[in-house]
Chains A and B, each alone.
Chain A
Amino acid sequence: MAAPMTPAPIDAGGTRRTRRIMIRGLVGLSAAALIFSACSSSSASSAPSAAPASQAPASAGQASEAPASADLGATTIRSNEHEKVPAASVKAMVDYCTTKTGVTAPISITNHNDFQDKFNSFMQATPDDIVKWFTGERLRFPARNGLLTAIDDVWATIGANYTDGMAKASQGDDGKKYAVPIVSYPWVVLYRKSFFQEKGYTVPKTWDEFVTLAKKIQGDGIIPLAFADKDGWPAMGTFDVLNMRVNGYQFHADLLAGKEKWTDPKVQAVFKKWAELLPYTQPDPLGRTWQEGAQTWANNKAAMYFLGTFASQQVPPADLADVDFFPFPTLGTQYDAELGIDAPVDAWILSKAPKNLPAAKAMLACFATPEAQLAFLGEDHSQIPASKVTDTSTFTEQQKKMAEIIGASGGVAQYLDRDTRSDFAGAQGMQALLQDFIKNPSQDLAAYTQKIQGVYDSLPAQ
């Protein structure tokens, strides 16, 4: 239930809800009911959403807009969004595409973290046709193992909706397309405008400006940068951005793909830079969840927080407009202009033997439209559509800025645990290894990077 590898915004409420259940139980609910409710909260499965039958003929009428006729039948969808807001987003998207294509699709839901743990066996059994998943290595792995259906024919029609970067992120090793990206969000330095104004802080662009600002903030008795890594994955974001700033996007991508060695002195330079950053970050990060870190920042006990934009979920709704962010400062290297960034993408994939291939493909083609993705986002302003959007009139200021920052980057990475093999990224690999560094940043970096490479080399060939 605690948020594992994937920095998914929806995890926020998971812990909170379980806590609420627990407190209620402590107050006096019988223990049996308590255990039952705790168990049942972890694996929810929703009834199929009854697709409005009246809408299908209606859309068939507008033949010009919806070339696919209503007789494509039905497909099935498996969503990993069990929290209220994202579950409603998925439903809004599917409902929109049901009206557009006439394809009905009941949605089944699995708890976000549970689904990642059993993804393998799920995809090998009798999966639903369309499944919500990620891009990057986490897409390439099931594609390589024959668990997915390639959708190059769909991409022939939707290709124009996406940037080259998105197209690349949707590819398997064989160059075929396997995913339809729907939403994305960047990893940035978040701050509160009113707080910066009140204290007279200015947004730093370079490392020197950042250090000067951090010293000033520390002088005011405030933590410059909130930091939390109890769950093991949030620190990966810091490694990613430092590596992209120090060594460039290409080296970062090659390193995570196993084409470069962790023992390369270039990697040590990243950890040296990180050691310089640590004095300005919140102490004792390993006992703190990202939610607690975000609250430190939201309550102005820390001035900034480097995290995905989902951190703003911890800010009271009334203060949301006060949240602003900027890209991680440049470090004065040749990769300053590239502005590499982590911007994880959520996507739909097609299982290996869909029961109704034409219907599923029609649905996927619709998911790729900006309209469907805007329907998905609805009131959720913490992410942006993955497709190119011409009409940004519904965007909030923050969404416009997210699009701008991702657009300005010359190297968009997914996130460490989506870009490298998952048995290396997980608890027995990089999660533990990065915590090891955070605990002891002054250790012998040559030996440390040797240890990382040792773990990588001990993994079986894929």
Chain B
Amino acid sequence: MTSHVAGSAAPTSPEVGAAPASKRQKNRGLLSRRDMWVLALLLGIPAFVHVFLVWVPTLASVLLSFTSWNGIGGLDRIRFVGIDNYRVLVTTYPPFWPAITHNLIWLGFFMLVATPLGIFFAVLLDKEIRGTRFYQGALYLPVVLSLAIVGFIAQLFLSTDQGLVNGVLGSFGVKPVDWLGNSSLNLWAILIFASWRQVGYVMILYLAGLKGVDPTLREAAKVDGATEVQTFFRIVFPVMRPINIVVLVITVIESLRAFDLAYIINRGLNGLELLSVLVTNNIIGEASRIGFGSAIAVVLLVVAVGPIVLYLTRTLREESR
């Protein structure tokens, strides 16, 4: 749910809706009645879908987060409990703070390691080195796999008794390492697998952007005696601003909606607690806690939307200056 909300923010990049107001006003006079209807329909349907599939459920989640309901019976069985859910969340609910920490670690790892690595690969592949196609394919392949599949692959690699990694290490006489069960190791182990996928994703996006950069810019920089590194950081990177914003937003979304890997491996227990998994664990099952799960979802929403809104308002303000 959250990702949809955040995702809908993505297209709000500078180009959209940037048409000067005066021009728009002039145009309205030229529209026939039929044009108006078509416009109303074309705008109305997406707006309706957007409101009903994004904002209504979001608001419903926020409202539900102040209630207690086990998911059985009609709406009359929903009981208003004030901020009780939030109080329990931050005081007695054991997995909450670990989940917040792990989500932030995930975000940090993606921001500092996976995404820069993806950008780095894109820059390298943009150089048309030999076998570019092969490298592109190899790096992009994991993106095609669903994260649930990546989770199974991770287990095949990391299982203590039967995993590939311990098998190889064992042949060098290393004692078996409990990759998935040791709560100070397992998050990092699965972050590597999550990054495996994220790197390819960022790479393909960035590569597409790089192809669109005007080559004369680079030639001019070269003529002026700029090094490769200077050219990238001073010329190419600033020119790629729209793509940078998309990559950033995607990085934030991907790290906050992280779910599949942890859920497949141990349903988000023991060192793999994540907000998204906590939401699921509370909502599903026989005696579900819809209100409590909604409260966690609201926390996740705030964490996800907060930084993106901050960043976008800042960049848009700079843009209009």
A residues near B, CB below 8 A? Answer: 1-2, 4-5, 18-19, 22, 25-26, 31-32, 34-35, 38, 116-121, 124, 138, 141-142, 145-147, 230-232, 283-288, 292, 295-296, 421-423, 426-428, 431-433, 435-436, 439, 451, 454-455, 457-460, 462
B179: chain A residues at CB < 8 Å are 287
Contact A458 B278 (CB under 8 A): no
* Known contacts A22-B153, A35-B146; is-contact A428 B282 (Cβ 8 Å): yes
Contacts of B145 in A (CB 8 A): 31, 34-35
Contact A230 B146 (CB under 8 A): no
Q: Nearest B residue to A117 by beta-carbon distance?
A: B284
Pick from B4-12, B26-34, B180-188 the stretch touching chain A. Answer: B180-188
B269 touches A431 (CB 8 A): yes
Chain A CB within 10 Å — which of B179, B265, B284 has the most?
Answer: B284
Kindly state whether residue B217 has any CB partner on chain A within 8 Å. no
Residues of B within 8 A of A (CB): 68, 70-73, 79, 81, 88, 92-95, 141, 144-146, 148-149, 152-153, 156, 158-162, 176, 178-183, 186, 264-270, 277-278, 281-282, 284-289
B266 with A232: CB separation less than 8 A? yes
> What A residues does B264 contact at CB under 8 A?
1-2
Partner of A286, one of B72, B270, B284: B270
- Assess whether B183 is in contact with A433, with CB atoms less than 8 Å apart: no
Give every chain A residue within 8 A of B160 (Cβ-Cβ).
284, 287-288, 292
Do A22 and B152 touch across chains, with their CB atoms under 8 A apart?
A: yes
Distance of A285 Cα from B79 Cα, bound (Å): 41
Known contacts A34-B149, A287-B159; A439/B278 CB under 8 A: no
Option from B88, B266, B287 in Cβ contact (under 8 Å) with A231 = B266
- Report the bound CA distance from A283 to B181 in whole Å: 10
- Interface of B, secondary structure class, is loop
Cα A31 to Cα B149 in complex, Å, equals 10
In the complex, the answer to whether B149 meets A142 with C-beta atoms within 8 Å is no
Q: Please indicate which of the listed interface residues A2, A147, A232, A451 has the most CB atoms of chain B within 10 Å of its own CB.
A: A2
- What are 29 A-B residue pairs whose CB atoms fall within 8 Å in the complex? A1-B264, A2-B267, A4-B267, A18-B152, A19-B152, A19-B156, A38-B146, A38-B149, A116-B286, A117-B284, A118-B284, A120-B71, A120-B286, A141-B286, A230-B266, A231-B267, A284-B178, A286-B180, A287-B160, A292-B161, A296-B161, A421-B287, A427-B281, A428-B278, A432-B270, A433-B94, A455-B94, A459-B289, A460-B68
Residues of the B chain whose Cβ atoms lie less than 8 Å from the Cβ of A432? 94-95, 269-270
- What is the interface of chain A mostly: helix, strand, loop, or mixed? helix
Complex Cα distance A459/B144, Å?
Answer: 41
Q: Within 8 Å CB of B88, what residues of A?
A: 458
Contact A435–B285 (Cβ < 8 Å): no
- Contact for A287 among B148, B149, B181, B284, CB less than 8 A: B181
B158: min CB distance to chain A, Å? 8
Q: Which residues of B contact A283 (CB under 8 A)?
A: 178
**Chain A residues with Cβ under 8 A from B186's Cβ?**
287
Residue from B72, B270, B278, B286 in contact with A422 in the complex, judged by beta carbons closer than 8 Å: B286
Evaluate contact between B71 and A295: CB separation under 8 angstroms.
no
Residue of A whose beta carbon sits closest to that of B144: A31
Q: Which residues of A have CB within 8 Å of B182?
A: 284, 286-287
In the bound complex, what is the Cα–Cα distance between A454 and B145 (angstroms)? 41
Query: B281 near A287 (CB under 8 angstroms)?
Result: no
Instruction: Known A38-B146, A286-B178, A458-B93; judge A423-B161 contact (CB<8 A).
Output: no
* Contact of A145 with B281 in the complex, beta carbons under 8 Å: no
B278: which A residues are within 8 A, CB to CB?
428
Q: Once the chains bind, are B94 and A451 in contact (CB under 8 Å)?
A: yes
Q: How far in angstroms is the closest Cβ of chain B from A25?
A: 7
Which residue of chain A has the shortest Cβ distance to B263 in the bound complex?
A: A2
Closest-by-CB residue of B relative to A432 is B269
By the criterion CB–CB under 8 Å, are A423 and B287 in contact?
A: yes
Given contacts A284-B181, A287-B186, 18 further A-B contacts (CB under 8 A): A19-B156, A117-B285, A145-B72, A146-B73, A230-B265, A284-B178, A286-B181, A287-B178, A287-B179, A292-B161, A292-B162, A423-B282, A423-B288, A423-B289, A427-B267, A435-B269, A454-B92, A458-B92
CB atoms of A460 and B94 under 8 A apart = no
* Inter-chain contacts of B159 with A (CB < 8 A): 287-288, 292
A residues less than 8 Å from B94 (CB atoms): 428, 432-433, 436, 451, 455
Of B70, B93, B153, which one neighbours A428 at CB under 8 angstroms?
Answer: B93
CB distance from B188 to the nearest CB of A (A): 14
Chain A residues contacting B146 (CB-CB under 8 Å) are 35, 38
Q: How far is the CB of B84 from chain A (nearest CB, A)?
A: 9
Residue pair B183, A286 in contact (C-beta under 8 Å): yes
Question: Using Cβ atoms and an 8 Å threshold, which residues of chain B touch A26?
Answer: 153
CA of A116 to CA of B141, assembled, Å: 34
**Which residue of B141, B181, B281, B284 is within 8 Å of A288 (Cβ)?**
B181
Chain A nearest CB, measured from B88 CB (Å): 5
| C-alpha spacing A231/B267, complex, angstroms | 7
Bound complex: CA of A296 vs CA of B159, how far in Å? 13
**Which among A32, A422, A433 is the interface contact of B287 at CB below 8 angstroms?**
A422
Q: Are A116 and B144 in contact (CB under 8 A)?
A: no
B181 touches A455 (CB 8 A): no
- Residues of A contacting B286 with CB < 8 Å? 116, 119-120, 138, 141-142, 422
Question: Considering residues B81, B152, B176, B289, which has the most beta carbons from chain A within 10 angstroms of its beta carbon?
Answer: B152
Contacts of B153 in A (CB 8 A): 22, 26
Closest to A144 in B: B72
